[in-house]
A = this chain, B = another copy of it.
Amino acid sequence: MATITGPLSGDAKNTVAEALQGALVDLIDLSLVAKQAHWNLVGSHFRALHLQLDEVTQLARTHMDTIAERAVALGISPDGRSATVSRSTKLPQPESGWIEDGKVAATMTDILDGISKRMYERIQATEEADPVSQDLLIAVTQELDKQHWMFQAQR
């Protein structure tokens, strides 16, 4: 079987592997949580949140691919299987059933706040280890922070 190797090795590779796998799980579960809310949402602000949640899923899907493919390019096998996501996610999970709009705005604010904090740690952790991976983490963080603001603003 072909082996994939990339520009990193040793500690640098381990550091980046951890950062990217963590980011991957955050983004996959964000895409699922946002869809869950997109579907189960009720309330007078339905349309605004319904559409914004799809933007969140869209950005999560775009960046999960970039992050996972960066891992592969470094010779790191990414793990995005449902069991892995469900076991290792750090996102607070929504209850089952219908969710009111106010609660969605508050919950998404909290979820995005948590992801942003972890992304900042990953940005710091990868600065020396791999500026190329860091640049991708910076790009996703900018978009997550923007969504965080917009959910906050309409709480």
**A residues touching B (Cβ–Cβ < 8 Å)?**
1-7, 28-29, 32-33, 35-36, 39-52, 61, 64-65, 68-74, 77-87, 89, 93-94, 96-98, 100, 102, 116-117, 120, 123, 127, 131-132, 134-136, 138-139, 141-142, 145-146, 148-150, 152-155
Contacts and interface: CB of A to CB of B under 8 A. Distances in A.
B52 A39 contact: no
Contacts of A134: 131
8 contacts: A1-B98, A40-B72, A42-B153, A50-B150, A73-B142, A73-B148, A81-B96, A86-B86
Name, among A7, A49, A97, A117, the residue most crowded by chain B CB atoms within 10 Å (CB to CB).
Answer: A7
A154 B32 contact: no
Nearest to A83: B86
A146 B80 contact: no
A140 to B, nearest CB: 10
